[in-house]
Amino acid sequence: MNSRKPKGKVPSLIGSTLGTPKKVRVAKCSCNRCHCEIVNGTECYEIPQLGGSFSNRKRYCNDCFRSIIAKTQTDLNIYHADLGEGVMKT
Ligand SMILES: [Zn+2]
């Protein structure tokens, strides 16, 4: 028996022990990237930062979060291409 099946949960490049980016409804704060004001009661995204403490979460407005996931997708596509998998061009 040479085949070894991976055990446990499949790790993800986002998420893992840090927790995933999550949507939060916040009191007034500002976006970490464009510094626009996120007004009281609106939703924004909190992204846990690598290497930071547990309280080190950055908040982003919807527009910035959209560019962040688009960039993440682009980065992931590099690995898909590297693995020889077909990548749907959008
Ligand atoms: Zn922003």
pLDDT digits (tens, 9 = 90+) for 20-66: 888 888 888 899 999 999 988 888 999 887 665 556 788 999 999 99
Ligand 1 centroid, distance to 74 Cα (angstroms): 19
Structure tokens at 8: 């446990």
8 Å CB contact between 44 and 38: yes
In the predicted structure, residue 12 carries a pLDDT above the cut 80:
no
Segment (H or E) for 74: helix 62-82
What pLDDT was estimated at residue 86? 63
In a domain, residue 30? The reply is: yes
Residue 49 C-alpha to ligand 1 middle, in angstroms?
A: 16
Number of other CB atoms surrounding residue 60 within 10 Å: 21
* 42 in a structural domain: yes
- Containing structural domain, residue 42: 17-82
For residue 72, the CA-to-ligand 1 centroid distance in Å is 16
Residue 9 in domain: no
Report how far ligand 1's centroid is from the alpha carbon of 36 (Å). 6
Average pLDDT score over residue span 69-90: 82
| Position 87 pLDDT exceeds 90 | no
- Whether 44 and 31 have beta carbons less than 8 Å apart is answered as yes
Q: Tell me how many domains the chain contains.
A: 1
Domain assignment of residue 1, yes or no: no
Separation between Cα atoms, residue 32 and residue 41, nearest integer Å: 17
Is there a domain that residue 60 lies in? yes
